[in-house]
Amino acid sequence: MSSNALHVPVMLQRCLDMLAPALERPGAVVVDCTLGLGGHSEALLRTFPEARLVALDRDPAALELSGARLAPYGDRATLVHAVYDELPEVLARLGIPRVQGILFDLGVSSMQLDEAERGFAYAQDAPLDMRMDQTTGISAAEVLNTYPPGELVRILRTYGEEKFARKIVDAVVRERAKEPFHNSARLVELIRAALPQAAKRTGGNPAKRTFQALRIEVNGELTVLERAIPAAVAALAVGGRIAVLSYHSLEDRLVKHVLGAGAETTAPPGLPVVPERYQPRLKLLTRGAELPTEEEIAENRRAAPARLRGAERIREEVAP
């Protein structure tokens, strides 16, 4: 499969090294919450021959491609059609109470970006879809054509960090009254026309932030992530480790908050001795977020915005 051959998993060796102490134990279970084309999953199975893999993806096409790729590993790999905030239900169905490793590689998979008809990429004309699972939910075109102007402004500002959200939305509202949006090229052209000249000279393609915002809205990415990271931490056995790759500041901030909160004491200030139930549950494995090396970015340009954070579960929840 050509996509598999071309796909380079981001910060692969660093992720494997981070998870290794937890996965070198007999009977370890590792969850790849974002299977995609299976690059990270295949490396996990190859590197930790005693480990069992559970891999989740909401995209049926990704599951089909990765299923063929991971077939040589037989029943060591269990692939599940699910969104990653469904992790607790998936593990309960499989009868797995706790896991030793969890990996998230957030954002859009290479396959989705590379297949024009999925509508994720602003560099080529395609239907404005952007659903990671095309069997459910509303498309980016429906968002553009039906959302009230104020809601569109909020989405572009919050999810795309787009300073010119109001200008872009005003143009969208004018244009959709003439004819609904269907394809990406028309939206890209509209954004170029709406932005001030100075804004188009820096920061790459001017449509990038709007497309990111629409993708996050269509797939409910931040809402899902808000549920998924705490659920993943709760699923870790003591000594288990989590590694999370994020690609924009909103994701990274959320991951930082959840892992950071788990690594702090929850005791009221002023206690002479901190009781067990207030002790940190996590130990952070990164100082801040780790960045890809220059060599990796040269080899794989999609690694450039990546931020890696990790933590180890150091104690169970203790009931008050």
Binding site, annotated residues: 38-40, 57, 84, 105, 112
Residue length of the chain: 320
As annotated, the binding site for S-adenosyl-L-methionine includes: 38-40, 57, 84, 105, 112
d(CA 245, CA 205): 23
Q: Encoding tokens for residue 139?
A: 């498309």
Tell me which H or E stretch contains 200. none
Contact 116, 185 (CB under 8 A): no
User: How many C-beta atoms lie closer than 10 Å to residue 117's C-beta?
Assistant: 10
Measure Cα distances from 91 to 38, 74, 88, 171, 236 in Å. 19, 19, 5, 46, 11
Half-sphere exposure in the Cβ direction for 252 (13 Å, CA): 15
d(CA 293, CA 309): 15
d(CA 3, CA 35): 14
Kindly give, in sequence order, each residue whose CB lies less than 8 Å from that of residue 143, ignoring residues fewer than 6 positions away.
152, 155, 214, 217, 218
Contact 208, 121 (CB under 8 A): no
* Phi then psi dihedrals of residue 81, to 5 deg: -80, 100
Sheet architecture: strand order including 29-32: 77-81, 52-57, 29-32, 99-105, 236-246, 307-313, 282-284
